[in-house]
Amino acid sequence: MDAEADAFDAFVRTRMPSLLRFAHAITGDPHTAADLVQDALERTGMRWSRLDRQGDPEAYVRRAILNGRTSRWRKLHRETLVDAMPDHRPAVQAATHDDELWRLLATLPHRQRAVLVLRYYEDMSEEQIAATLGCAPGTVKSQASKALAKLRAAMPAEESSWTG
């Protein structure tokens, strides 16, 4: 292995758990998360020398994960016409607070969800989130504010203390 391959290998070994947590929080599914991380790392590996020189390859990988999730969502949510309506009878489950919070988080628009996950789950600063999402720090602040307002409005009154 050359030095470039060693550097990429070290990056993957140290950042993989964090990247998997991030992707899982974004998608809600560990299998989809693993696929997204693998795809993002494959793209990163092909561009490693340039990304490593630029100084923030993790932001590139996180952005690739977000873009991959958006692409998958678009592919899966295309309209499909059917002859008959399916019988939808949801299974009844008692939701825990965490389950309810994850369910509510999943109802947010993609960018708002990404901002909250990066801020409160990954503990990133507004500047780091802005760099990862390719937007201004002010956009991060407004998206977080809108997302938290939506979560607060959707929660029962006694549980609204979850979001601060």
Condensed to tens digits (0 to 9), the pLDDT of residues 84-139 reads 655 554 444 444 567 777 788 888 998 899 899 888 888 888 998 998 888 999 99
Distance in angstroms (rounded) separating the CA atoms of residues 152 and 156? 8
Structural domain including 21 reads 3-76
Q: What is the CA radius of gyration of the chain?
A: 18
pTM here? 0.56
Domain tally for the chain?
A: 2
150 phi, psi to nearest 5 deg: -65, -40
26/58 same-domain check:
yes
Task: Looking at the structure, tell me whether residues 151 and 103 fall in a common domain.
Answer: yes
